[in-house]
Structure 1
């Protein structure tokens, strides 16, 4: 077997990078020649976690075939969210907590998907099942991923398993869970120095819905006004990217991590599907979504249902 590259989705968040690092370490413990790589550079939140636990960010790749024929996926399975040549290589394993869509393989594989708040929660369980050592650094990056994906346990995707894993990992990582978690989340809310294009690319995924392609970007903030003061600039960037890449509908979800609400900005069509999905009416292309913080659980399923009806 050639070297195995392990990576999360495009525009990687803390779980995509943290899960890749942790899963690669677990594979090495089983004598697999594995390397964690990334499909993008770390966000400020992720870099905060990497720096805190003295870990080096995985190198960024755009294709895998020039290096290897074998890969393992974490925190995603949909091909449009993966590396450009994913259909041309052998997928050995998938560890994920998302829906399964647009995914097929020619060969059998190890596939583990659980309805928990974070992929790193699953990987933590795998370490325990295999009785593998969890170092302080690996514990720290898995903990950071859980905090990020569950918004410090405020997200509806959070399960008791996520909380239990985070508490155990915090002990190993030797950090205070609450204070470290809040500091890390706040590190990811500095949006003022980012261009509109950079802001939209922080955490964005594309989803096929019926015969449309829907792009959904999400940013975390402690001040929704800071985001929407730039509405005209953001709308222009959303329309330009949609025209360039063929998105029919582009949604930006700005999430207030302190109050657990989001505000939505929409460009493209069909807007009526968005209004149906969230039982709202857009005003100036915007709508407040009280209590909505999770794209995976509170946005994508609702939109999918609206498009299918």
Structure 2
């Protein structure tokens, strides 16, 4: 069987990399020949999880058509979030937990998407449905993905299925998920050593919102005031990146993983700022707004913005 590559979205997080590794194991047990790769370097949080459970970071690829004829996607489906030459290969499988947008294929494919907190939760269900044993290290990296995406089960994206998966995977991996989860989340909150340019690209995704092209970045911290000391530098970097890449608006969501609130920095035209106010019921003051209880880009940021732009 010809080799296929499995990968998550650009600027990969723990779900994108962890689920790619776990899904590659799952598919190889079913006779496929796959390799988990990544569309970017592992961040600090993901690196912590990989080391904890004995994995090397997947190799980074920029193109895939030069290597394979077919690919499998995890944790994304939108073209602008994927590899640049995706249109030159066949997509055979997708495992996801996001909205489906601008996605089309010529041939039928296996597609499974569920409104749960993490792609690894969907994969956990697939393991269970087929009575497949999950190795301890695979369980550990899947657990890490769910903890990361649900902010230790505190995100509004969290479902009962996520909670069940976390408890089961923690037992298999041999860890206390609450204790390990705090260690994992804190590992990804050290932003002092990174430049503002790195931070606005670390976990950033592009979206089509109505007629606008939006870039929405998110960073997790334990000290929001410390992050906002670099507010002017953040805004300048966002403005520069927006002009260079044709984004109509750029949002940076600074999320406190301890109290589940976010501070948003925003650049865009007057129409976009007005739509932001309509979407969240918050006026931007000096390009900034406080969004209490908002932690999920997927569920609490993109949907209200989409509805507001399309109204």
Q: After superposition, where does 1:1-20 map in structure 2 within 5 Å?
A: 1-20=1-20
The within-5 A match list for 1:239-258 is 239-258=239-258
1:280 to 274, 279, 282: 282
Which residues of structure 2 form unaligned runs of 5+? none
**What is the match of residue 40 of structure 1?**
40
Show the 5 A alignment for 1:61-140: 61-140=61-140
Using the TM superposition, give the Cα deviation of residue 211 of structure 1 relative to its aligned residue in structure 2, in angstroms: 1.3
How far did residue 167 of structure 1 move?
A: 0.4
In the TM superposition, residue 133 of structure 1 has moved relative to its aligned partner by 2.2
Q: Give the CA deviation at 1:305.
A: 0.7
Kindly state the Cα deviation for residue 129 of structure 1 after the two structures are TM-superposed. 1.5
Residue 292 of structure 1 corresponds to which residue in structure 2? 294
Provide the C-alpha distance between the structure 2 equivalents of 1:130 and 1:33, rounded to a whole number of angstroms: 19
Q: CA–CA distance in 2 between the matches of 1:170 and 1:66? A: 38
Per-residue Cα deviation, 1:214-234 (whole angstroms, up to 9, x for no partner):
000000000111111001111
The residue number in structure 2 matching 1:301 is: 303
For residues 160 and 117 of structure 1, the distance between their equivalents in structure 2, rounded to whole angstroms, comes to 10
Structure 1: unaligned runs, 5 residues or longer: none
Deviation at 1:162, TM superposition (A): 0.2
2:210 & 2:123 partners in 1: Cα distance?
33
Q: Describe how 1:93-242 pairs up with structure 2 within 5 A.
A: 93-242=93-242
Cα separation, 1, equivalents of 2:268 and 2:99: 25
CA contact (8 A) 1:29 1:132 kept: no
Inter-partner Cα distance in structure 1 for 2:33 and 2:258: 42
CA deviation map 1:196-224 (0-9, x unaligned): 11001111000011111000000000011
- Deviation sequence 1:18-42 (CA, Å, 0-9, x none): 0100000001101110000000011
Q: Give the CA RMSD over aligned residues.
A: 0.7
Write the deviation string for residues 34-81 of structure 1: whole angstroms up to 9, x where unpaired: 000000011100000000001111100001000001000000000100
* Whole-angstrom distance in 1 between the partners of 2:286 and 2:268: 13
Separation of aligned partners in 2, 1:306 and 1:227 = 28
Q: Deviations over 1:255-290 (max 9, x none)?
A: 011111000100122211111111011111000001
Separation of aligned partners in 2, 1:232 and 1:193: 17
Q: Does the aligned pair in 2 maintain the 1:256–1:262 contact within 8 Å?
A: yes
Tell me the secondary structure at the aligned position of residue 182 of structure 1: helix
TM-score (structure 1 length as normaliser): 0.99
Q: CA deviation at 1:131?
A: 2.1
- The answer to whether the 8 Å contact 1:96/1:119 transfers is yes
Q: For 1:204 and 1:165, how far apart are their aligned partners in 2? A: 27
Partner SS, residue 64 of structure 1: coil
CA distance, structure 1, for counterparts of residue 100 and residue 85 of structure 2: 19
Question: Secondary structure at 1:302's aligned position in 2?
Answer: helix
Which secondary structure does the structure 1 equivalent of 2:202 belong to?
coil
Report the secondary structure of 1:201's partner residue.
Answer: helix
